[in-house]
Chains A and B, each alone.
Chain A
Amino acid sequence: MQLVLEKRAERSRTIALVSPLIAIGLTLVTMSVLFALLGKNPITALGVYFIAPLTDGYSLQEIAVKATPLVMIAIGLSLCYLANAWNIGAEGQFLIGAVAGSWIAVKTQGTEAGHWVLPAMLLAGAAAGALYALIPALCRVKFGASEILTSLMLVYVADLLLDYLVRGPWRDPAGFNFPTTAEFDPVATVPLLIEGGRLHLGSIIALIVVICAFVLLDRTIKGFEIRVVGVAPRAARFGGFNANQLVLVTFAISGALAGLAGIIEVAGPIGHLQPGISPGYGFTAIIVAFLGRLNPVGILIAGLFLALTFIGGEQAQITMKIPLDVTKVFQGILLFYVLACDSLILYRFKLVFAARQVQSGAG
């Protein structure tokens, strides 16, 4: 028995729409098996993971808060991937954005600085993220070095830089030697949308980013160029599109969005700079981008879904003692299924039995 792929005459539009749903379905089945192997009741576990967080207001807000960085980073990554530029260092750009923005917060701490502080922090975060992302992009464009490896290496560098700053020069003198900066001043904090809630201004910014990305891809020449360079590089060359410039542009945009997400996370839900500000947002966002089919609206939905797994994972750890790593396994499996189902858009899968092959060979 052999699995054979048969190319479809044209892309299947139906499957393009339902493939993420098939992928999620298959993932849930696989997860049930995994829960059973861990000795937990699969139905209860899936309920805690995917249903319970949707039933109370606090968790719903928390999902939006977690989805905010995921969606912002994934929108940027989708532009890169559409243009066939492989930025996988968004985690590093997120951290650098957080560091750069925090620098302003730390320097203005306890001064009479006015309301310009937060906008300046957001700008600094976005700018630093963009510059940090331009390093691997320039290395590829100027020297032909693989942007995959360089962008990833810079994640570790960013992580170590943040670690140095909060343990060294920026450590809160009143913080009992914990590696953290002091709590940011109110003018350096992202305002909440509802007093006493969790939802903050960042979620609105993420929605604006989604709309901008939609307009960029659907209504502008630049968006068209990005898509053509990715799908048909030769045609793009003949069309006079500058592929190298697009690598730089898409990396800069995705770095800026990751950096912005980083400073929003630090100045919003966390409130100070410390190590471990990201539970792997930069990597999870890669899954979000693919699950959302590299489409802004799709990414918004996918981001909310993956945020749900973070919240569900935390609750499952507390109430059912399911290890937190299950969430990462879940995310990895989901990406496998998403990619496999995407293959169905271009190919038909056929099982060929050896006996039939012999027959057709003889006939």
Chain B
Amino acid sequence: MVLVEAIILSVLAASTPLLLAATGELVTERAGVLNLGVEGMMIVGAACGFGGAWLSGSIVVGALCGIIAGMLMSLIFAFMTLGLAVNQVATGLALTIFGIGLSGLIGARFVGERINTAPHLSVPGLSDIPLVGRILFGEDAFVYLSLALIVAVWWFLYRTRAGLVLRACGDNHISAHALGYPVLRIRMLAVLFGGACAGLAGAYLPLAYTPFFIPGMTAGRGWIALALVVFASWRPGRLVIGAYLFGAVTILQLHAQGAGVGIPSQFMSALPYLATVIVLVLLSRARTGGSTAPAALGTVFVPDR
């Protein structure tokens, strides 16, 4: 029983950065922008988040630093793809390459330092309920924040006028423009939101998941978050399921390694990546009757005057 609880708790923790980053990317892509730089924004968020927390001694300051760093990174992307109409795929790759280098530069002086990770919540009475208590009330605040965020995004996208306009920009920017909506401005806000989420997701790693920063610690999570958005067919509800499924795969392979299953550890470590490929194939195959992706996803829009 204790083991089951421990596994569920670690799955929650492992899924949270994926869920956060994928939530941001979902909004960005719903506005019609494909930002492949999630990995780059995340790793810079991790470096700045850890730096902020280490210098100030506060997890909240660290998280804010991560968010701001992610937004600044996404601002570069927005300027390039929205301002200068540059190919989004190539710019996203550039953002990732740049981010990996930049995070190494920023994080170099923090390597080897440790901080106290974000405290786990403790609600008197509730956190002590057997089995569900610690899961529902005893994780770190980011876990619940990420869930609140995806609910808020769902409500925004499907229950508000602004959300409808954002989706319209993603499905047909020419019509949205003709109706008088500022397509580029809406897209920029969506990209910035994506950057903030990716930055926070990256900051989560050294602030709550491990107490230290190491270069390259995102280890492809940004790319998995991108795959999750496809997995979720661009829908918030499915995104939660997908994120926890991938978190579970990550944790299960770790436990299997720990239990000394007779399979080399490298093969177990490769599981989340292989799972991503297999899931992408199965999902793309299962989809009949056209794609569920936003129709204008990844296309350049230059308003004519």
Q: Which residues of A does B touch, CB under 8 Å? A: 3-5, 7, 86, 88, 135-136, 139, 142-146, 148-150, 152-154, 156-157, 160-161, 163-164, 167-168, 283-284, 286-287, 290, 323-333, 335-336, 339-340, 342-343, 346-347, 349
- Of listed B85, B224, B280, B284, residue having the most chain A CB within 10 A: B280
Smallest CB-CB separation from A158: which chain B residue?
A: B270
Q: Which residues of B does A touch, CB under 8 Å? A: 36, 76, 80, 83-87, 89-91, 93-95, 97-102, 104-105, 108, 215, 219-220, 223-224, 226-227, 230, 264, 266-267, 269-270, 273-274, 276-277, 280-285, 287, 291, 302, 304-305
Partner among A145, A325, A335, A346 whose Cβ is within 8 Å of the Cβ of B280:
A145
Determine how close the nearest CB of chain B comes to the CB of A168; give it in whole angstroms. Answer: 6
Interface contact B89-A143, CB-CB below 8 Å = no
- Assembled-state Cα–Cα distance A330/B104 (Å): 13
Interface contact B264-A164, CB-CB below 8 Å = yes
Smallest CB-CB separation from A289: which chain B residue?
A: B90
Interface contact A329-B91, CB-CB below 8 Å = no
- In order of increasing CB-CB distance, the 3 nearest A-B pairs are A332-B98, A328-B101, A325-B104
- Assembled-state Cα–Cα distance A323/B95 (Å): 20
- Of listed B84, B100, B282, residue having the most chain A CB within 10 A: B84
A323 partner residues in chain B, CB cutoff 8 A: 104-105, 108
A148 partner residues in chain B, CB cutoff 8 A: 36, 89
Partner among B89, B94, B281 whose Cβ is within 8 Å of the Cβ of A332:
B94
Interface contact A160-B267, CB-CB below 8 Å = yes
A343 partner residues in chain B, CB cutoff 8 A: 84-86
A150 partner residues in chain B, CB cutoff 8 A: 276-277, 280-281
Smallest CB-CB separation from A340: which chain B residue?
A: B84
Interface contact B220-A139, CB-CB below 8 Å = no
B85 partner residues in chain A, CB cutoff 8 A: 5, 343, 346-347
- Assembled-state Cα–Cα distance A164/B281 (Å): 26
B291 partner residues in chain A, CB cutoff 8 A: 144
Interface contact B284-A145, CB-CB below 8 Å = yes
B95 partner residues in chain A, CB cutoff 8 A: 332
Determine how close the nearest CB of chain A comes to the CB of B218; give it in whole angstroms. Answer: 12
Partner among B36, B90, B101, B219 whose Cβ is within 8 Å of the Cβ of A331:
B101
Interface contact A332-B280, CB-CB below 8 Å = no
Interface contact B280-A5, CB-CB below 8 Å = no
Smallest CB-CB separation from B76: which chain A residue?
A: A336
Q: A146-B230, A164-B267 are in contact. Are A335 and B223 (CB under 8 A)?
A: no
Interface contact A153-B80, CB-CB below 8 Å = no
Interface contact A336-B94, CB-CB below 8 Å = yes
B90 partner residues in chain A, CB cutoff 8 A: 290, 335, 339
B83 partner residues in chain A, CB cutoff 8 A: 3
Interface contact B266-A154, CB-CB below 8 Å = no
- Assembled-state Cα–Cα distance A336/B86 (Å): 9
Determine how close the nearest CB of chain B comes to the CB of A231; give it in whole angstroms. Answer: 13
B277 partner residues in chain A, CB cutoff 8 A: 135-136, 139, 145, 149-150, 153-154
- Assembled-state Cα–Cα distance A148/B36 (Å): 9
B108 partner residues in chain A, CB cutoff 8 A: 323, 325
B99 partner residues in chain A, CB cutoff 8 A: 332
B223 partner residues in chain A, CB cutoff 8 A: 149, 152-153
B269 partner residues in chain A, CB cutoff 8 A: 160
- Assembled-state Cα–Cα distance A154/B85 (Å): 30
- Assembled-state Cα–Cα distance A335/B37 (Å): 13
- Assembled-state Cα–Cα distance A194/B227 (Å): 48
- Of listed B85, B89, B223, B273, residue having the most chain A CB within 10 A: B273
A326 partner residues in chain B, CB cutoff 8 A: 101, 105
- Assembled-state Cα–Cα distance A135/B277 (Å): 10
6 A-B interface contacts by CB (under 8 A): A150-B280, A153-B273, A332-B97, A335-B93, A339-B90, A347-B85
Q: A149-B227, A286-B93 are in contact. Are A329 and B101 (CB under 8 A)?
A: yes
- Assembled-state Cα–Cα distance A3/B270 (Å): 45
- Assembled-state Cα–Cα distance A330/B305 (Å): 36
Q: A139-B281, A152-B223, A290-B90 are in contact. Are A332 and B102 (CB under 8 A)?
A: yes
A331 partner residues in chain B, CB cutoff 8 A: 97-98, 101
Determine how close the nearest CB of chain B comes to the CB of A355; give it in whole angstroms. Answer: 16
Partner among A7, A286, A329 whose Cβ is within 8 Å of the Cβ of B105:
A329
Smallest CB-CB separation from A360: which chain B residue?
A: B305
Partner among A3, A283, A339 whose Cβ is within 8 Å of the Cβ of B86:
A339
